Structure 1
Amino acid sequence: MTRVVITGLGAITPIGNDVETFWESLKNGVSGAGPIQAFDASDYDIRIACEVKDFSPQDWMDRKFAKRLARSSQFGIAATRQALKHSGFKITPDNATRVGVVFNSGGGGLSGMEDATRQLDRRGPRSISPFLITNIMLNAVSSMISIEFGTMGPLNSSALACASGNQAFIEAFHTLQRNEADVIITGGTEAAVSPAIIASFIRMGALSTRNDEPERASRPFDLNRDGFVFGEGAAAFILEREEHALARGATIYGEVLGGRLTSDGYHVTAPRPDAIGTTNAINGALETAGRSADEVDLVFAHATSTPIGDKAEVLSIKNALGERAYQVPVIGIKSMVGHILGAAGPLAALAAIKAMETGIIPPTTNYETPDPDCDLDFVPNEARPYKANLALVNAFGFGGHNAVVALGSYRQNGK
């Protein structure tokens, strides 16, 4: 079976607008949370988010093109440009038909519809941009990446809520294994810090209420967790068939070993209390990777900092890994970057790749009071040296979507 390797990385995040800044911030427990800047939230019960700072679209693309794009697509293109540069791979007319894009978003440019509706009410139908539809469609980011960089291979996009980014990884993996492309640009993006979306999450009771201490609000697995902090950002990856990467002398940063999609069939927002669906996703990812539970070294958890979500995820890890669960560090990076919905899995995957590359694992910050129902090693508050060769990345989405990806450090001959 063809091996699928990772040759390029890119990131736009609340704690850094490139991979190295993101990684340094993550290792040092830097929080991206703060008062909402995207709109006036002074009348909102919850007024904090993890927003991207100091992002100028024109640094990454033509100014005129950028003005036609939703913020989520801008993030995706910026992260992709970084990843392509990092990989050293050039897309040309000669190879474009063998280069594909599988890039997802949970909400696409949905927040743009809010802006358009307000404008329609104020100024009438002639004020609406002809680019509105191409901004808000869920396949916008994958399409715009393909157009911007000239790819002509498979072009795919799916929306699985917060599991969207991991689904992109899994689809890209299978596309390369089917020999439908030599190179796939994959990842996830989200930019949904907008008035109605935030208001809906507040009404849902999903967000942390710690307005006065935003840096301490997201606290996965802590007994006093009370919801997540909304985030935005993107992560992009260049995936290649191993033989293609080796033939061009590419540096290989890791390997996609497998992945699995499952569903809960239970509730639109709540996880199954028995964690069967998420357990099956973990087991399935290991099955496709050809690995056993005893080989797992790290788990980058979905860990949104909700009371029932974190508890159910811990149960799924125990169900799948057995006694090994107590020996494996389980990390929740949303403690620092917030919940970036469709980009959550890819950002955690980026952290997993850097952890295996550097031999350092980042912490789960704000972990202060242990929860008896969450009794694993969560790497509390400080990074640590740790050698890992196999990491699981969990992403679970509204609607009962579960997507788990297995990533590995790369060894040219064998596991």
Structure 2
Amino acid sequence: MELKRVVVTGLGAVTPIGNDVKTTWENALNGVSGAGPITQFDASKFKTRFACEVKDFDISKYLDRKEARKCDRYTQLAVAASEEAILDSGLDFEKENRDRIGVLVSAGIGGIKTFEEEVGNYYTHMEMGPKFNPFFIPKMIADIATGFISIRHGLRGPNFGTVSACASSTHSTITAFDFIRLGKAEVIIAGGAEAAVCASGIGGFNALTALSTRNDSPETASRPFSKSRDGFVLGEGSACLILEELEHALARGAKIYAEVVGGGMSADAYHLTASHPEGVGAKLVMENSLADANMKPEEIDYINVHGTSTPVGDPSELKAIKAVFGDSAYDMNISSTKSMTGHLLGAAGAIEALFCTLAVQNDIVPPTINFTEGDEDPEIDYKLNLTFGKAQKRTVRAALSNTFGFGGHNACVIVKKFTK
């Protein structure tokens, strides 16, 4: 069968550097850090006392108080991002076949804050007998954001959330792409959401020694490709992309940001939390995505890397890029926007696919911040254009987004300029 073409027609975001797409994108281009001292709980006794939090978020703009109380923060963020994406797309669901519109908005963890609060309350008051919020389970589970959004708009197409740690929302985007190009849906709201800035989230990642402990300078703590990097900075937020079958989009006169042309998946089959030091799985997933898109390595102008600022992860990813792209690796731009947003876990792939989409549309690459001369790592090849310090203007014909999750889950998606 002939595969249908899939385009991006709407974007929505709530991130540590902006509560909408416009602000998030402007701050990304300007190299603004979203990191700061944790405000959502008392972190004074933790090894890490900072994070990239969403700031001044007002759920009452989207949900009344009663509905908001049924949702964990991660679902609230997903609702906000999805509403912006839907509005941006110009879709009028009253005029659409809602049986053909799906929602795939993923989380790597889901309602961890709700779980922490409910279990903590039980043990604090256990002498009084078990007492749990009737919405405890639906607030906690990692698929509920996608269910909530579909119920809110009466969308009856494909509806579930993929869970693959930090690759979750990239897997959602690829799955949405596949469903549409196979003719199983016409429109899908794809993306991710996460809100793990809580005691158990920070404490758990601290126990893994995964987080930066640069408490004296949170805004410079996420420093991909620097010798002094000491772990990632936990972030929270949500991003959604409206993926749409091309002919459907053209028929309704939709604006088109970019075309989704390929997706790849692989496994490291190596370690629970660490990337393969030689980038074996990363190499395979990029090769798979290029093959799926029927593209040559030299056709990619920008890679938004996983780039979490961890000692093992950063050099292994660059080794994989050099293995796949050869000499053309030196002609492209590479950047880690996690240096600004922090690591949004299950939502990371969605916000980074959004950045790739805007890079393709606007011919500009957001930077990697916090690198300083004298902080070079001998394992990093600085002949690569890692887009340090400032955004760089260039023609971006196509962009690739890398995401790698605990458990060895790898996923990539490719977007390129749309031409009829």
TM-score of the pair, normalised by structure 1: 0.97
CA shift, 1:122, in A, is 2.5
Q: Distance in 1 between matches of 2:307 and 2:410?
A: 13
CA shift, 1:60, in A, is 1.5
Q: Which amino acid counterpart does residue 117 of structure 1 have in structure 2?
A: V
Over the aligned positions, Cα root-mean-square deviation in angstroms equals 1.1
* Aligned match of 2:247: 243
Contact in 1 for aligned 2:238/2:351 (Cα 8 Å): yes
Contact in 2 for aligned 1:330/1:377 (Cα 8 Å): yes
* Aligned match of 2:391: 383
What is the CA deviation profile of residues 268-287 of structure 1, one whole-angstrom value per residue up to 9, with x for unaligned ones? 01111221111010010011
Structure 1 pair 115–86 and aligned structure 2 pair: CA distance change class (3 A): same
* Aligned match of 2:278: 274
Q: Distance in 1 between matches of 2:226 and 2:54?
A: 25
Q: Distance in 2 between matches of 1:374 and 1:260?
A: 25
- Which one of 363, 369, 388 corresponds to residue 365 of structure 1? 369
CA shift, 1:63, in A, is 2.4
- Report matched runs for 1:79-118 at 5 Å: 79-92=81-94, 95-118=97-120
1:343 aligns with 2:321: no
* Aligned match of 2:188: 184
- Which structure 2 residue ranges, 5 or more long, are not aligned? none
* Aligned match of 2:405: 397
- Which one of 171, 175, 191 corresponds to residue 171 of structure 1? 175
* Aligned match of 2:330: 326
CA shift, 1:371, in A, is 2.2
1:23 aligns with 2:25: yes
Q: Distance in 2 between matches of 1:111 and 1:64?
A: 19
Contact in 2 for aligned 1:14/1:32 (Cα 8 Å): yes
Q: Which amino acid counterpart does residue 305 of structure 1 have in structure 2?
A: S
- SS of the aligned residue for 1:84 comes to helix
* Aligned match of 1:60: 62
Q: Distance in 1 between matches of 2:368 and 2:376?
A: 12
Contact in 2 for aligned 1:61/1:78 (Cα 8 Å): no
What is the CA deviation profile of residues 129-185 of structure 1, one whole-angstrom value per residue up to 9, with x for unaligned ones? 110110111111111111112101111211000000100010000010111111000
Q: Distance in 2 between matches of 1:171 and 1:92?
A: 25
CA shift, 1:203, in A, is 1.3
* Aligned match of 1:407: 415
- SS of the aligned residue for 2:166 comes to helix
Structure 1 pair 246–94 and aligned structure 2 pair: CA distance change class (3 A): closer
- Report matched runs for 1:243-322 at 5 Å: 243-322=247-326
* Aligned match of 2:124: 122
- Which one of 217, 233, 237 corresponds to residue 233 of structure 1? 237
Q: Which amino acid counterpart does residue 287 of structure 1 have in structure 2?
A: A
Contact in 2 for aligned 1:264/1:278 (Cα 8 Å): yes
- SS of the aligned residue for 1:92 comes to helix
CA shift, 1:313, in A, is 0.4
CA shift, 1:327, in A, is 1.3
Q: Distance in 2 between matches of 1:301 and 1:238?
A: 22
Q: Distance in 1 between matches of 2:360 and 2:278?
A: 31
- Which one of 218, 221, 240 corresponds to residue 217 of structure 1? 221
Q: Which amino acid counterpart does residue 233 of structure 1 have in structure 2?
A: G
CA shift, 1:329, in A, is 0.8
CA shift, 1:372, in A, is 2.8
- SS of the aligned residue for 2:356 comes to helix
Q: Which amino acid counterpart does residue 254 of structure 1 have in structure 2?
A: A
- Which one of 6, 12, 15 corresponds to residue 13 of structure 1? 15
Q: Distance in 1 between matches of 2:171 and 2:66?
A: 31
What is the CA deviation profile of residues 69-112 of structure 1, one whole-angstrom value per residue up to 9, with x for unaligned ones? 01111111100000000000011375110100111100011221
- Which one of 139, 160, 163 corresponds to residue 159 of structure 1? 163
Q: Which amino acid counterpart does residue 286 of structure 2 have in structure 1?
A: I
Count, aligned residues: 412
- SS of the aligned residue for 1:169 comes to helix
Q: Which amino acid counterpart does residue 276 of structure 1 have in structure 2?
A: V
TM-score of the pair, normalised by structure 2: 0.96
What is the CA deviation profile of residues 272-322 of structure 1, one whole-angstrom value per residue up to 9, with x for unaligned ones? 122111101001001111101011100000000001000110011111111
Q: Distance in 1 between matches of 2:307 and 2:328?
A: 19
- Which sits farther off after the overlay, 132-141 or 366-375? 366-375
What is the CA deviation profile of residues 178-212 of structure 1, one whole-angstrom value per residue up to 9, with x for unaligned ones? 11111000001100111012111111111111101
CA shift, 1:126, in A, is 5.3
- SS of the aligned residue for 2:262 comes to strand
Contact in 1 for aligned 2:360/2:415 (Cα 8 Å): no
